[in-house]
Amino acid sequence: MGIESVLNEHRTFHPDQSFVSDANVSGMAAYEKLCAAANNNYEEFWANLARELIVWKKPFTKTLNDSNAPFYKWFEDGELNVSYNCLDKHLSSQPNKIAIIFEADNGDVTNVTYKELYEKVCQFANGLKTFN
């Protein structure tokens, strides 16, 4: 079946089973439940996710401060280390997993694992230390 109209697309594409088993949301019912939870109480929804998925150096005291709209403050008073949350915490469990896939303009693709990225980040950080 080909594409008859870009406005009426009916094809479906099913992911590999390995992709499905690694997914954080398994199926449409789980997705709809997640959306309903976010719609029912978005502050509680995001607070729970932030506490569950992010390592905080100092916990946030308020999920959303909207007292000075449009300059909203999310996770007020919270402090975290972005490098730790994005990189370091994955090293012990999945050092050889691909962290970054880079495709250059010429089509060359470079895969970088968490371990390789960590080594590069450490080299760069140590280089910055020479500048104080």
* pLDDT at residue 71, rounded to an integer: 98
**C-alpha separations of 25 from 18, 33, 50, 57, 115 in Å:** 13, 10, 17, 28, 27
* pLDDT at residue 27, rounded to an integer: 86
Name the band, by pLDDT with cuts 50, 70 and 90, for residue 2: low
Give the chain's mean pLDDT: 93
Q: Is 75 left (phi over 0), alpha (psi -120 to 50) or beta?
A: left
Q: Which pLDDT tens digit goes with each residue over 26-78?
A: 889 999 999 999 999 999 999 999 999 999 999 999 999 999 999 999 999 99
